[in-house]
């Protein structure tokens, strides 16, 4: 087995020494702007069958205990983080719809959402403020965090289960049903709009664009 080159060893050292997950760009900056893509790929393969593995969550890389060995390091008494039904529903909606405002969350859930519910999710480190929507009132919008991906063992949000999988597992049924209602409502509106346009065309009443007055 060939010895790893200096860049691979340097990347390995940076990741071990870091107190938090790092992006590829941040690792490169630590090493004078080096391109570390191949080094990360080599380390990922090297550690694939080791007691610790190199994983990528979103855009961030870090070492973690191999999943099949995690039980060996787990304390007998764990701190259990329990979310309320409202917080669980809000977290699911943010994950599937981000970035999303509180009003949009309430529209999907069909009930008002207390500010404290989102605060709980932000304190847990799973939801963050992602800016403001560029609309009147400029409402705050929310998104998930890299910690959310890490906690639930996801590389990206694309690995989130589909609605059918959630229902089969008996999880988040109210959210799944609310999402389906939203999709059905949108589909019905789109269908009605298409029928209206078709009826107008058959009646010879096709709308036209009036270009008569183009003054400011």
Could you give the count of Cα atoms lying within 13 Å of 110 in the half-sphere of its Cβ? Answer: 9
Structural domains in the chain plus CATH codes = 6-66 (1.10.10.10), 85-168 (1.10.10.10)
Percent of the chain, pLDDT > 90? Answer: 23
Select, from the ranges 55-59, 139-143, 179-183, 195-199, the one with the highest average predicted confidence (pLDDT). 139-143
pLDDT tens readout for residues 9-56: 999 999 988 888 999 999 999 999 999 999 999 999 999 899 999 988
CA distance 121 to 115: 10
Backbone angles phi, psi at 145, to 5 degrees: -115, 165
193 vs 46, more confident: 46
pLDDT tens readout for residues 48-90: 899 999 988 888 999 988 878 877 766 544 444 567 888 888 8
pLDDT tens readout for residues 94-134: 888 888 998 898 888 888 887 788 888 898 888 999 999 88
Residues 170, 162, 119, 62, CA torsion sign:
positive
CA distance 15 to 61: 8
Tokens of 108: 């999907």
Degrees to nearest 5, angle at CA 195 with 191 and 201: 150
CA distance 28 to 7: 10
pLDDT tens readout for residues 111-122: 888 778 888 889
Find out whether 121 and 87 touch, Cβ atoms under 8 Å: yes
Single pTM value for the model: 0.47
């Amino acid at each position: 087995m060939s010895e790893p080159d200096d860049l691979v060893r340097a990347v390995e050292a940076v990741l071990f020494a870091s107190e938090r997950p790092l992006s590829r760009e941040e690792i490169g900056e630590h090493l004078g702007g080096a391109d570390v893509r191949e080094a990360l790929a080599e380390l990922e393969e090297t550690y694939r069958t080791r007691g610790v593995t190199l994983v990528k969550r979103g855009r961030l890389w870090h070492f973690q205990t191999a999943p099949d060995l995690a039980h060996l390091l787990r304390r007998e008494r764990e701190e259990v983080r329990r979310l309320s039904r409202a917080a669980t529903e809000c977290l699911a909606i943010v994950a599937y719809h981000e970035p999303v405002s509180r009003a949009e969350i309430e529209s999907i859930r069909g009930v008002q959402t207390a500010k404290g519910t989102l605060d709980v999710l932000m304190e847990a480190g799973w939801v963050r403020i992602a800016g403001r929507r560029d609309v009147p009132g400029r409402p705050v919008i929310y998104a998930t965090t890299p910690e959310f991906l890490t906690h639930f063992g996801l590389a990206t949000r694309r690995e989130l289960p589909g609605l059918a999988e959630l229902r089969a597992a008996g999880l988040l049924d109210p959210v799944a049903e609310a999402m389906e209602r939203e999709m059905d409502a949108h589909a019905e509106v789109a269908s009605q709009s298409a029928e209206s346009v078709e009826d107008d065309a058959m009646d010879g009443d096709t709308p036209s664009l009036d270009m008569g007055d183009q003054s400011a």
